Each structure stands twice: as C-alpha cells, then as structure tokens.
Amino acid sequence: MKRFLMTLALSSLAAFAADVSGNWKATAEGPNGAMERTFAFKVDGDKLSGETVSSMMGKSVIENGKVEGDQISFTITIKFQDNEMKMNYKGKLSGDTLKLTAERAGGEAGQAIEWNAKRGS
C-alpha cells in the first residue's frame, strides 16, 4: 500500500510538470545586437533532453536537463573560436512563453543572457 501511495504521489507531481516539449524560437540581446536560437525539447517525466541551434554557435545537445513544476534547467556545450564552453540555462514556463537565463559555467556573476522564447517555431 505504501508503494502504491508513493507511486500515486510521484505521478501527481509529474502531471504538474511544465510541458515544454516541442520547438521553440528564442531571441536575446547580445553585445553585438539581437541573437536567435531554436530549441527542440523532449520531456520524459522530470528529464529534459533535445537540442538547440544558433546561427553563430551551431548545434548543441541539451544535457543534464530537469523539469520541476514550471521551472526547467539544462546545460549545453558551445564551440566559440575553437574553444568549448558550457552554458547553464534556467527558465520558467508561462503558457506558450519561456523565459530563460543563460550563464557560462564558472563565469563571472552578472554576465547572464536573457532569452525570450515562443512555442511552435
């Protein structure tokens, strides 16, 4: 009985997880002007996976993705001038809008990029 109640509770939590599955188009203001990035998210329970593409940085695989309620987080590895760097993303879903903050792993605080994404692109 205890196991059944635990399974029921976990299933209920999963039902309230953000539905970010699908394609998203995001924009952000960078030091050299507007930037665009697309995300293709896949959700399995509380695990987030997929890929992202930008015209400047190319394609990256979404790693270590998590979904908790309306919050998501994940990491990507980008190649910039022959150097690889990890970017940590955190975001909040509200309907068909996703607000994301990206920071370089191990980078200085306050150097985040704010992305605004819309579903279905």
The CATH number given to whatever domain includes residue 89 is 2.40.128.120
What does the pLDDT look like over 31-62, one tens digit per residue? 788 999 999 999 999 999 999 999 788 899 99
Q: Report the domain count for the chain.
A: 1
Query: What's the chain's Rg over C-alpha atoms?
Result: 16
What is the average pLDDT score of the chain? Answer: 85
Contacts of 10 (CB under 8 A, 6+ apart): none
Q: What confidence score (pLDDT) does residue 1 get?
A: 56
Q: What is the largest CA-CA distance in the chain?
A: 59
Residue span of the structural domain in which 74 resides: 2-119
